[in-house]
Amino acid sequence: MTLYTREQKATDKKILPLRPENIPDELKVRPQWVVWKAVGEKPDKVPYSARTKRKASSTDLLSWSTFEEVLEAYQAGGYAGIGFVLSSGDPYAGVDLDRCRNPETGEITHWAIEVVNGLDSYTELSPSGKGLHIISKGKIPKSLKRDQLEMYCTERFFTVTGHVVEIERD
Catalytic residues: 96, 98, 133, 150
For 98, counting Cβ atoms within 10 Å of its Cβ (0-12 exposed, 13-18 middle, 19+ buried), the class is middle
Instruction: Calculate ∠ Cα 18-20-23, nearest 5°.
Output: 115
CA 128/CA 117 separation, integer angstroms = 22
Contacts of 165 (CB under 8 A, 6+ apart): 3, 5, 108, 116, 123, 124, 125, 132
Strand partners, 132: 97, 125
Which is nearest to 136 in space by CA: 151, 114, 156?
151
Q: How many C-beta neighbours within 10 Å does residue 3 have?
A: 22
